[in-house]
Amino acid sequence: MPNSPILVIYTGGTLGMLPGDTGLIPGHNFQSRLRTALKTLSPARQASLPEFEVLEYPDPIDSSAATPADWQRLARDIAERYEDAHKRYAGFVVLHGTDTLAWTASSLAFQLQGIDRAVVVTGSQLPLEADGSDALGNVEAALRFAALPELQEVAVCFAGKLMRGVRTRKWNTQAFNGFASPNYPLLGELVDGSAVLYPIRGLDVQQRGLPRFELPDYKALNGSAVVRITLWPGISARLLAAWLLDDSVQGALLEVWGSGNIPEDPEILDVLAQATGEGKLLAAISQCPQGSISIGTYAAGRGLIDAGVLSGDAMTPEAAMTKLVHLIAQPLSDRERRQRFVTALVGER
């Protein structure tokens, strides 16, 4: 597809923000601002950039306002153009606010399973027109990676690093090197301005399989069907029950201690067992940002197994939550949901 362009989708975020009365606000007219900014690159760098078109959302947002409905819209916009027989895009770049970028990237990976092109999500810590901004460099790098036919998955590109989207987390509130992939190595890096992929690490060689997009209706979940609960010393069964046994809650991510431990409090274990008994999908990951859980290593973790809580291994909170949402939004049996949760679908675990 040497002549196919990249589609750049602008959703908002700092990258396109402009000063407003109360702080930075999402800016419009992005395509022309981006093309103006690209003219500041050296002629050689401009000439070597892939062709691209821009799809600019009419209502760009600060990504702190994003909901599963936004993940759904984005995946559908990509899927629609991916399948368009008259117009072929070589890859996709999503420009997104950094606050919830890792959530969107994770969700896209579950919705666009088996995609045989690149979806590269990026943003920036400073707006495009700010002095010394990282925005243009991030867009340039994302375009270069998105043009690589070997990259066949949803990735995050930030500060010259390419990471698997479903393994990525926002790591620093201000530093340009603001994203990390704590439990999976980089997929690639920008080396002397060229996009370089590390062999063997990509989904194309690991488990991509045929494209099998799953585009369930997240809106039908009506808000907070999945909750995220980080344990704290002294947590009470009463508070846990208020969240887990709420009728609208269908799943929960528990962030437990170390390698998979919880307090040995029979009332807490009862609440967990009651929730799973009601068919709610409960999973656990560690509060440690690095390393996997291994439930049952300590006696203090045994209760999780008895209560039917699934292990999230080394998944990021963003991957585990978006996977729960994704599985709950589909008409699957309890058994299928549980089985898929513990199976790696897109290299997330």
Where does residue 243 rank: exposed (0-12), middle (13-18), buried (19+ CB within 10 A)?
middle
Distance CA 289, CA 316 (A): 8
The residue whose Cβ lies closest to ligand ASP is: 97
Written as six digits, the tokens of 143 are: 């375009």
Task: Supply the minimum distance, in Å, between the C-beta of residue 146 and ligand ASP.
Answer: 19
- Helix, strand, coil percentages (3-state) for the chain, rounded to 5, are 35, 20, 45
Residue choice 97, 160, 260, 312 for contact with ligand ASP (CB under 6 A): 97
60 touches ligand ASP (CB under 6 A)? no
CA nearest neighbour of 31 among 50, 4, 58: 58
Q: Does an H or E element contain 206, and which?
A: helix 203-206
> Closest separation between CB of residue 165 and ligand ASP, Å?
16
Q: How many whole angstroms separate alpha carbon 180 and alpha carbon 104?
A: 15
Looking at the Cβ atoms of 17 and 315, the one nearer to ligand ASP is: 17
Of 9, 13, 162, 293, the one binding ligand ASP by CB under 6 A: 13
Active site residue 14: yes
Q: Which residue has the tokens 């901004």?
A: 133
Mapped onto helix, strand or coil, the DSSP state of residue 333 is: coil
In whole angstroms, how close is the CB of 164 to ligand ASP at the nearest point?
A: 20
Q: Does 63 engage in binding with ligand ASP (CB under 6 A)?
A: yes
CA 347 to CA 343: how far, in whole Å? 9
Looking at 6-14, 30-38, 192-200, 239-247, which segment touches ligand ASP (CB under 6 A)? 6-14
Closer by beta carbon to ligand ASP, 127 or else 260: 127
18 strand-pairing partners: 25
Candidates 67-75, 92-100, 243-251, 309-317: pick the segment binding ligand ASP (CB under 6 A). 92-100
32, 36, 46, 64: residue in contact with ligand ASP (rule CB under 6 A): 64
Residues noted as catalytic = 14
Q: Which residues bind ligand ASP (CB under 6 A)?
A: 12-14, 62-64, 97-99, 123, 125
